[in-house]
Amino acid sequence: MTATARTPAVTSRLPQVGTTIFTVMSALATQCGAVNLGQGFPDFDGDPRLMQAVKDALDAGHNQYPPMAGIPALRGAIAAKVEALYGHRYDPATEVTVTAGATQAIITAVLALVHPSDEVIVLDPCYDSYDPSIVLAGATAVHVPLTTGTFRPDFAAIATAIGPKTRAILVNTPHNPTGTVWTAAEQQQLADLLRPTDLLLLSDEVYEHMVYDGAAHLSVASHPELAARSVLISSFGKTYHVTGWKIGFVAAPAPLMAEFRKVHQFNVFTVNTPMQHALAAYMADPAPYLELGAFYQRKRDLFRAGLAGTGLRLLPCEGTYFQSVDYSGLAPEIASLGEAAFCEWLTREVGVAAIPLSAFYADGRDQQIARLCFAKRDETLALALDRLRVRLGEYTGKH
């Protein structure tokens, strides 16, 4: 070792964060040749017309920095879509910004709108970026669990958590990981709760087009009172089967958006140009997002029907592409495993990778539930179901 080459020691800004369970389970799935129903992404491609639109944009020379907030055509298409679906008109000039996916949108919103020593309420289980985003802002995440068993919002608990330091509440519907979708009554209860406060609502709606059985997604944009205090966040990655593109958007009242853009311009500045042109052109046809619910509902039904004989208890799946299962009914040697151990066993011994629900809780609580992703080709789902039926059958007491 030379005297001059020395990497200084650093104190972690995020000491609690290690390798995520998603990375661990995906690596284990590859190592074991397991069907990966762990991480939430499709194993099929997006629409060839969208791919062609990207190639067209590249060939047309759309390869330099676009405007900081996104190209006007895409912001216009987003505003038109949100208005058509949810009834609220956001001004594309001042109230819509294109982001590098929803994850960037969330951390940017938090950094822009939350101050050190503020508190932000999150409802557990929740997407794993929420807590670190709040911590990096120097704020405190106040974790309020959803109701045990049903995973519905517990408004009494939320009300109790609101205090003088509370700046915002982060809500996600349709919900990852549990597949619940907020009802109109629940949305109204939130509006009633927030009315006397100055809280902001950060609304993660990335699964907005995956709602089943005739229910409707209740965007904050469909509720004028909530829209006035909300940052609406969505992602094209989920809607168009292109999670690797990392492109999404934020819509919010102009004063909130002005602050959002101040941070956005220094942590991203602009989002890649050809994808923006492609999406702006592709969005002219509403069919792909209007038909997404039916597309995934069919997969959900196929997957749930296949799981019926496995001994796993299925939790309701009202939206998203996640199906949670309760394994407490399996033979005691399996049912007694903690969620992480169960998912590892499932990956190694059954050949199907899943994610423990505990990974989405700040307190890591164990409820004998695992999350499976059904955004997969029918053949992939069939292979996973075959393995689950054969191997879990040995642990259901039926064999």
Whether the bond into 255 is cis, omega within 30 of 0: no
DSSP letter (8 states) at residue 241: T
Burial letters 378-396, b for 16+ CB under 10 A, else e: eebbeebbebbbeebeebb
From CA 86, how far away is CA 209, in angstroms rounded? 12
> Which listed residue (173, 176, 272, 324) binds ligand PLP by CB under 6 A?
176
**Interface mask (CB under 6 A) for ligand PLP, residues 22-51, using x and -?**
------------------x-----------
Residue 102 Cβ vs ligand PLP, minimum distance, rounded to whole Å: 3
Residue type at 265 in one-letter notation: Q
Q: Rank residues 176 and 310 by Cβ distance to ligand PLP and give the closer one.
A: 176
**Residue 119: helix, strand or coil by DSSP?**
strand
Q: Rank residues 17 and 390 by Cβ distance to ligand PLP and give the closer one.
A: 17
336 contacts 327 by C-beta, under 8 angstroms: no
395 contacts 331 by C-beta, under 8 angstroms: yes
**Interface mask (CB under 6 A) for ligand PLP, residues 97-116, using x and -?**
----xxx-------------
Tell me the C-alpha to C-alpha distance, in Å, between residue 179 and each of 150, 207, 314, 329. 11, 10, 11, 21
**Does residue 243 touch ligand PLP according to CB under 6 A?**
yes
> Which listed residue (46, 237, 274, 311) binds ligand PLP by CB under 6 A?
237
Residue closest to ligand PLP, measured at CB: 101
Q: Rank residues 374 and 395 by Cβ distance to ligand PLP and give the closer one.
A: 374
**Does residue 235 touch ligand PLP according to CB under 6 A?**
yes
100 contacts 246 by C-beta, under 8 angstroms: yes
Which range touches ligand PLP (CB under 6 A), out of 57-65, 114-122, 240-248, 368-376?
A: 240-248
Whether the bond into 125 is cis, omega within 30 of 0: yes
**Does residue 204 touch ligand PLP according to CB under 6 A?**
yes
**Using CB under 6 A as the criterion, which residues of the chain lie in contact with ligand PLP when the complex forms?**
40, 101-103, 127, 172, 176, 204, 206, 235, 237, 243, 246, 248
